[in-house]
Amino acid sequence: MTIERRVFLSRAAGCLVAAGLGARPALADSEIPDRQSDDDAVLGRLVSVTGGPRNRPVLSVTFDDGPHPTNTPALLDILRARRIRATFYVVGRNAAAWPDLLRRMVDEGHEIGNHSWSHPRLTLLGESDLLRQIDRTSEAIYKAVKKVPVTLRPPYGLLRPSQARMIHARRAMVTTLWDVDPRDWQRPGPGVVARRIVSAAHNGAIILAHDIHRPTIRAMPTALDGLSERGFHFATVSMLLGARDWSRKRFGWVTG
């Protein structure tokens, strides 16, 4: 299936130029001089993306389906040791079960995105059920970390263009797919996963992985070090797209 894409606007790319100049490999907030005054304005122009701007060696590593009670902490240790920011597309019911892991993600500079409440095929749902999947998840995230996610990753990458437009209009969320897929869920072995990630990476890449699979965690030290050796910097998805942070706190429907 296809999802509509939007070309990045020059303002977002300009922020990325600045962000890419930070010290390797992490991007600390203080290293992003061209701060946006309104992150909503940056992300608000994007309905659906598969990658970021390609003019600088910055990419995002994303982890779906967690948090997982043992794999996710191990992954967070690996990321922290390298000062690398990642993005976690959490399943709402897992987020509700492990709120401490969400708090650790935020404390350590990562972004949390919405991956639905129970991981259904969203293309099969009507509008109210679809919004319920999203809202229950956003509410669980908000309850844990007092931040509202601004990007959505549909399970299996399945979302109709009309649904993506509706979610953008009703919840101001960017549908975020990927353009590097190591197929780690097929469990080809950590070495294969790491090689696929490092060899397929490119400027602006959004890399898909899953922190519920132990071999994926074991692949990460080699994969992340390989990406750094190729000269890539790491940003969360929202930062890759030009925002300074993923935080958004002003949705009226959040009551937590």
Q: Which residues bind Zn ion (CB under 5 A)?
A: 64-65, 155
Amino acid letter, 149: P
Cβ burial 199-213 (10 Å sphere, 16+ → b, else e): eebebbbbbbbbbbb
| Residue whose CB is nearest to Zn ion in the complex, by number | 64
- Report phi then psi at 91, rounded to 5: -80, 130
Within 20-160, residue ranges assigned H as helices are 39-43, 71-82, 92-97, 99-107, 127-145
Q: Of 64, 65, 135, 184, which one is the catalytic site residue?
A: 64
Q: Is 190 helix (H, G, I), strand (E, B) or coil?
A: helix
- Is residue 230 within 8 A of residue 198, CB to CB? The reply is yes
Q: Of 68, 168, 210, 213, which one is the catalytic site residue?
A: 210
- Is residue 117 within 8 A of residue 93, CB to CB? The reply is yes
Whether 210 is catalytic: yes
Token reading at 95 = 């987020």
Helix, strand, coil distribution of the chain in percent, nearest 5: 45, 10, 45
- Report phi then psi at 87, rounded to 5: -125, 130
Nearest distance from C-beta of residue 119 to Zn ion, angstroms: 6
- Nearest in space to 108 (alpha carbons), one of 66, 75, 153: 75
Nearest distance from C-beta of residue 64 to Zn ion, angstroms: 4
Whether 181 is catalytic: no
Nearest distance from C-beta of residue 94 to Zn ion, angstroms: 11
- Nearest in space to 73 (alpha carbons), one of 99, 97, 101: 101
Nearest distance from C-beta of residue 89 to Zn ion, angstroms: 7
Other beta carbons within 10 angstroms of residue 229's beta carbon come to 10
Q: Looking at the annotation, which residues are catalytic? A: 64, 210
